[in-house]
Amino acid sequence: MACGVIAALCGVLLVARPWAFTARRVWLTSVACTLVCLVAMIVCWSAILRDEGRGRTTGSIVRDERSARGYLSRAMPAGRDPTVIPTGVYVESIEFTTSNNVVVSGYVWQRYPPNTPKDLTRGVVFPEADESHLEDRDIAYERTAADGTKTTGWYFNATFRQRFDYRTYPLDRQNVWLRMWQPDFDKDAVLVPDFSSYPPWLDKDLLGTDPQLVSGEWRPMYTAYSYARYVYPSSFGLKPYDGPVNYPDLYFNMVYERDYTGAVVGNLVPVALIALVVFASLFVTSRDQKFELFGSNTFAVMAFLVTMLLVVVVDHNEIRSVSADGSVMYMEYVFFGLYLLLLLVTANGVLIALDRPGEILTKQGNLPAKALYWPLLVGIVLVATISVFFGVGW
């Protein structure tokens, strides 16, 4: 993409030949360069929105009992024969309340075969939830099958605190996960997805969630069970520490994509209008006496640009409230580009007001500044797009 844009821009320069410095050629170059960058951004956005690899789940996905048992056979510590507890989840509602908090409600159930040890604690622990352990008062139903298998279901409604990545806002995707632990750390027991309680698992069928689930500005993409292994350097006080605990943790993943329409209309449209107004100010920044008819002078232009700066700062601070980890978000580069242009337009006005501003600035009514404005702004956003979404490590 970067090489294609550079080649297209070089072609524009060779065809338009702006160094002849006629108004027609300079404007042709400016418009053509802006269009090249806009088309490149549209292509980038199209590729980004079609990329299903973004918003990956935590750990290794398992889609049936065979893949789950295969993973556990490789991941479990040697010499262990744990009790397997089928566990399932059905999410009824989800709400993003803050940058790092999400409220999830629904049901979780477990099936206990007849050979389940009597001293094994029943239930599930959600480590990231404010109410992590399901208690007897949360039991929604209990059933015992003819073969002695006992099924217990709990209702939960808890706030989960998780670290979301907002660096690609407003084109971001977030994975809301429910990590589940067996309460007894000192007993050989492991949770496995209860695939027998679902239809054949297909990620895009959104199994494990209510079809009528309301998620606000987020669109559900897919759901999946997965396992991830972590090293816990503690015995949790249950026995003397003799090495890290590294049992695999069971995850239920729900990957959501932000509906970027609201962010574009609410944030980018006002910024685009401000950019247009700042661009218009270049047409009244001239040493030509006819602009006195507009009541335009250097002080008036400076006051106007300061006002625009304050408006941009307020809008930028509103965007910053989306992220709580201090990372720079993709949309912020639009504001950074506008900050740079406000600074350059201000400097242009000051130099024009000097007795000897230089011939290049006063040529054809401030033409160089007008012609560079849009290619510079759109070019900054394009470079940010390529760097953020296609750079090393993304």
Query: Tens digits of per-residue pLDDT, 304-362?
Result: 888 889 989 988 988 888 877 778 899 999 999 999 999 998 888 777 776 555 555 55
For residues 287-294, average pLDDT: 47
Which residues, at least 6 apart from 35, have a Cβ–Cβ distance to it below 8 Å?
A: none
CA dihedral sign, ordered 98, 310, 382, 281: positive
What rounded mean pLDDT belongs to the chain? 83
Q: Given this model, what pLDDT does residue 267 score? A: 82
Cis peptide before 170 (omega within 30 of 0): yes
Task: Quote the pTM value.
Answer: 0.81
Q: Given this model, what pLDDT does residue 85 score? A: 92
Q: Each residue of 65-104: b (16+ CB within 10 Å) or e?
A: bebbeebbeebbeeeeebbbbbbbbbbbebebeeebbbbb
Q: Given this model, what pLDDT does residue 246 score? A: 66
Half-sphere exposure of 282 (CA within 13 A, CB side): 24
- Of 136 and 245, more confident: 136
Residue 163 burial (CB < 10 Å; 0-12/13-18/19+)? exposed
- Cβ atoms of 252 and 223 within 8 Å: the answer is yes
Q: Given this model, what pLDDT does residue 1 score? A: 75
Query: pLDDT band for position 107 (50/70/90)?
Result: very high
* Among candidate residues 190, 191, 319, the one with its CA nearest the CA of residue 267: 319
For residues 79-98, average pLDDT: 88
In angstroms, the CA 41 to CA 50 distance is 14
Token pair 């320069």 is at which residue?
A: 13
User: Distance between alpha carbon 328 and the CA centroid of its chain, in Å?
Assistant: 11
For residues 204-229, average pLDDT: 88
In angstroms, the CA 390 to CA 165 distance is 16
